[in-house]
Structure formats: structure tokens, C-alpha cells
């Protein structure tokens, strides 16, 4: 595969992601049946110290790379552990509502059964 073809493929992926985010943002601003859409404002410094908040936010990457490189665990188990750590950090440290974190996780990984999606 030539460099031009690779760059054009990357551009298509980036544009698709941009348009998906833009359409989701527009849909999130519309009121839903039964009430307005829930909003959540992220706090970028939940621990009060930038270095501690950065360390907490880096936990999923530390878990992923630590399991992969340090403990030599199988990659698919490392990915599950890293994703689980990200959801736990979002809920506990950054005070993200559990329903929002579950919804963002289930739209990222569409192979999750529909019964788990909200």
C-alpha cells in the first residue's frame, strides 16, 4: 500500500469520526421523549492537584501497558482490564454518571448485547 493511499484512508477515518461526533452532538442537544437530554460537565482536576489528577487519568494506560509489557498477559485480557479501569476511573474519580459511562462504552464496542445498552 502506497503512502498516498494510506494517508487518504486515514483522512477518511478521521472525517467519518468527526461527522459521527458532530451528529451525536446535534442529537444530544435535542430533547428526548420524556424529558431533555442529560448533560454532564467533566471536571478536569477532580483531585485538586494537577499531578494527582493526571496520574488517576493515566491509570487505564498504566494498567494496559503494565499487563502487556510487565506481566505478559494475553492482549485481549489486557484490553478488557484497561477498558474496565477506564470506566471505573470515569465513575469514581471523575464523577461521571454510570449510565453515561455504560452508554459510551456500549457505543464504542457495538458487539455488546443490546440488553446491556441503555
C-alpha cell at 71: 506481566
pTM greater than 0.75:
no
Integer Cα distance of 60 and 35 in angstroms: 34
pLDDT value for 98: 86
Please report, in tens digits, the pLDDT of each residue of the chain (118 residues total).
Answer: 544 454 445 545 554 554 564 455 445 544 455 555 667 788 888 888 999 999 999 999 999 999 999 998 899 899 989 989 998 999 999 888 888 887 777 766 655 555 555 5
What is the per-residue burial (b if ≥16 Cβ within 10 Å, else e) of 44-64?
eeeeeeeeebeeebebbeebb
Q: Compute CA distances 115 → 22, 24, 44, 102, 112, whole Å.
A: 26, 21, 32, 12, 8
Amino acid at each position: 500500500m502506497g503512502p498516498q493511499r494510506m494517508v487518504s484512508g486515514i483522512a477518511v477515518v478521521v472525517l467519518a469520526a468527526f461527522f459521527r461526533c458532530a451528529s451525536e452532538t446535534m442529537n444530544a442537544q435535542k430533547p428526548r421523549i420524556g424529558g431533555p437530554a442529560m448533560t454532564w460537565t467533566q471536571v478536569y482536576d477532580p483531585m485538586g492537584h494537577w499531578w494527582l489528577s493526571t496520574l488517576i487519568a493515566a491509570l487505564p494506560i498504566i494498567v494496559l501497558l503494565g499487563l502487556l509489557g510487565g506481566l505478559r498477559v494475553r492482549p485481549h485480557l489486557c484490553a478488557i482490564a484497561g477498558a474496565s479501569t477506564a470506566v471505573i476511573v470515569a465513575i469514581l474519580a471523575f464523577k461521571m454518571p454510570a449510565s453515561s459511562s455504560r452508554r459510551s462504552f456500549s457505543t464504542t464496542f457495538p458487539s455488546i448485547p443490546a440488553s446491556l445498552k441503555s
